[in-house]
Chains A and B, each alone.
Chain A
Amino acid sequence: MMYKKGMGEHVFDSFNYLILSLLLVITLYPCYYVLVASVSNPVKIFASNGLLFYPKDFALYTYTEVFKSAPIWNGYKNTIIYVLSGGFISVSLTTTAAYALTRRGLPGKKTIMFLILFTMYFSGGLIPNYLVVKGLGLLDTPFAMIIPNAVTTFNLIITISYFRGLPYELEEAAKIDGANDYTVLFRIMLPLAKPIVAVISLYYMVSIWNGFFHALIYLNKRRLFPLQLILREILIKNDTASITTAQPDQAQAYAENVKYATIVVATVPILCVYPFLQRYFVKGVTIGAVKG
């Protein structure tokens, strides 16, 4: 489109670009700071007031400390187990339920949908939830990380709305050819639903990867702790002693920087895969919006 821009338009545009560029800097700088600080000499950081733009006395000492730490590796291992098994169970429950709840003429469908939606707005609360998990004997077992929050209602809803958009004729045709409900689900619907399966898998796995609260309340045994709970000890409760082997005074000085390195080690995997998967993440939100 060709049209003359007025003075006001130019001012508006410049302002807009300025604000957005500023937002970029504000978003990125804290992350950059952590990265730079993790490879710097802590004494130098402390001595230099102000912003940090490049590493001071580049050293990878902190990383060797983090990589030597047994709790971090064990946490990593547990998290990967919880993410894979939990992701599988969550996705299975969600897609099968979405398939069932989009069958035409299913008696009781409306009631079931209402009861499921209701849980989005009214929940039993922390204590009764805890007592149920305890009552089932799931405390201090890996299952406590997988089962009690296996289905997220939001994810179920976006899956249902995706299934609703799939052509009914395919199912009809398959049924005429003698296919049963399971064949329709596994041979016809699931292959068609791959995009939404990708979206909810990511949502479930990221939330298990990043979650710490369920682990905090359901797990006591340290060997079962996921990475985030170990991070909480190191980062929030300042328990860096468990991962630094240096002399006391040196450990003191390096404690902060070991934290930065820990943050990097714990966050980099997710940030590395993120750009490749971004479109799936975004898709989930927009499918949810259509439904909303």
Chain B
Amino acid sequence: MDATATITKKGRAVKKHIWREVKKFKHIYIILAPTLLFYIVFRYAPMFGNVIAFQRFSITKGILGSKFVGLQNFKDFLTNYKFWELLRNTLNINFLGLVFAFPAPIILALLLNEVKRLRFKKTVQTITYVPHFISTVVVSSMILTFVASDGMINAIRQMFGGEKISFMTNSQYFYPIYIISDIWQHIGWGSIIYIAALSSVDQELYQAATIDGAGRWKQLLHVTLPGISQTIIILLIMRIGQMLSVGFEKIMLLYNPAIYETADVISTYVYRRGLLEGDYSFSAAVGMFNSIINFILLIAANFFSKKISDSGIW
């Protein structure tokens, strides 16, 4: 028998073996099929549907019949007068979120960790989780009524002798409103994961630190923070990976043309151009640009985290 024959025979044997395995799991595949179908149709088909970003897509002609235009849509976006404004706003909102909204739950968890009265701790937790369950529409409308010219915020300002401010027509107030309300809504919920991580920090480390004469501040720096750093890093990477798409629903509900200058972001622009104006190909290209930047950021964040701290999400 020559060598090739042995290999093909072996190959056949392996194939037969795999086939037998697959058959053994026939019913498992049947159970899995509906969910798999969901992912194929509603998650992967749209990914390939991005082909229209390279076309001049028309609904009547369909994907197969529409004309390919290469990178024209991307060029149109990059040279569009809105491009820099959208990119700047998107990065600004996300950067501010990273600096102010991301650490807030960590700080809350650390503060709660120092509370020795369990009743008080539980009360703070239960109450701060609540806003997370209020819908985006309701939260946005609460914000809008509070910052209205005769709303609560202006009433308080007047109480202290301040002037009324028209918050929603001045673009400079959009970021503070957006970020503060975000912290208000998610600080409690976001802290759960850190509280869980804190509870698994080895208690003996604290005793050892106390014996070494470390006060609470020193313990916080040298025991508590290193204990939850892994969790912080992983959540940070995941946050960076979703950076350009978070918060877009709330922005859509809050903004108005008077403050597009700071409030209009890539995703809201995609929505307006694509679904309100029906410019499918162009906005698909803009959306794809967004996803790709997002993905690059995620990979970069993971890469640096692995370099520096040896932990990452893969």
Asked whether, in the complex, the Cβ of A151 is within 8 Å of the Cβ of B216, the reply is: no
Complex: chain A residue closest to B283, CB-CB? A127
Decide yes or no: A97 and B32 within 8 Å by CB, A16-B115, A27-B128, A236-B144 being known contacts: yes
Decide yes or no: A181 and B27 within 8 Å by CB, A23-B128, A285-B192 being known contacts: yes
Decide yes or no: A124 and B49 within 8 Å by CB, A151-B35, A286-B196 being known contacts: yes
Identify which of B18, B142, B158, B295 contacts A122 (C-beta below 8 A).
Answer: B295
Asked whether, in the complex, the Cβ of B127 is within 8 Å of the Cβ of A128, the reply is: no
B80 CB within 8 Å of chain A: no
B270 CB within 8 Å of chain A: yes
Identify which of B27, B112, B133, B283 contacts A182 (C-beta below 8 A).
Answer: B27
Q: Per DSSP, are chain B's interface residues mostly helix, strand or loop, or mixed?
A: helix
Q: How far is the CA of A232 from the CA of B250 in the complex (A)?
A: 12
Identify which of B38, B49, B215 contacts A151 (C-beta below 8 A).
Answer: B38
Q: How far is the CA of A121 from the CA of B302 in the complex (A)?
A: 12
A9, A125, A149: most-surrounded residue (chain B CB, <10 A): A125
Complex: chain B residue closest to A207, CB-CB? B135
Identify which of A9, A123, A259 contacts B141 (C-beta below 8 A).
Answer: A259
CB distance from B28 to the nearest CB of A (A): 5
Question: Which of A57-65, A100-108, A161-169, A241-249 is near enough to bind chain B?
Answer: A100-108
Residues in A with CB closer than 8 Å to B50 are 124-125, 128
Asked whether, in the complex, the Cβ of B128 is within 8 Å of the Cβ of A148, the reply is: no
Identify which of A17, A100, A121, A213 contacts B28 (C-beta below 8 A).
Answer: A100
Q: How many contacts between A and B, using CB within 8 angstroms?
A: 258
Question: Which of A66-74, A193-201, A270-278 is near enough to bind chain B?
Answer: A270-278
Residues in A with CB closer than 8 Å to B114 are 12-13, 16
Residues in B with CB closer than 8 Å to A126 are 267, 270-271, 274-275, 283, 287
Q: From residue 236 to 252 of chain B, which have CB atoms closer than 8 A to chain A?
A: 238, 241, 249, 252
Asked whether, in the complex, the Cβ of A266 is within 8 Å of the Cβ of B138, the reply is: yes
B interface, CB within 8 angstroms of A: 18, 21-22, 25, 27-29, 31-32, 34-36, 38-39, 41-50, 52, 108, 111-112, 114-115, 120, 123-124, 126-131, 133-138, 140-142, 144-146, 150, 152, 155-156, 158-159, 184, 187-189, 192-193, 196-197, 210, 215-217, 231, 234-235, 238, 241, 249, 252-253, 267, 270-271, 274-275, 280, 283-284, 287-288, 290-291, 294-295, 298, 313
29 contacts between A and B (CB under 8 A): A12-B216, A13-B114, A20-B120, A20-B124, A24-B128, A28-B127, A100-B35, A105-B25, A107-B22, A124-B47, A124-B50, A125-B291, A126-B267, A126-B270, A126-B274, A126-B287, A127-B275, A129-B46, A130-B274, A147-B42, A151-B38, A180-B27, A181-B27, A210-B137, A274-B130, A285-B189, A285-B193, A286-B193, A292-B231
- Sorted nearest first, the 8 A-B pairs with minimum C-beta distance are A124-B46, A128-B49, A235-B141, A125-B287, A97-B35, A210-B135, A128-B46, A100-B32
A interface, CB within 8 angstroms of B: 3, 6, 8-9, 12-13, 16-17, 19-20, 23-24, 26-28, 30-31, 33-34, 46, 49-52, 93-94, 96-97, 99-101, 103, 105-107, 112, 115-116, 119, 121-132, 136, 147-151, 156, 180-182, 185, 206, 209-213, 217, 228, 231-232, 235-236, 256, 259-260, 263, 266-267, 270-271, 274-275, 278, 281-282, 285-286, 288-289, 292
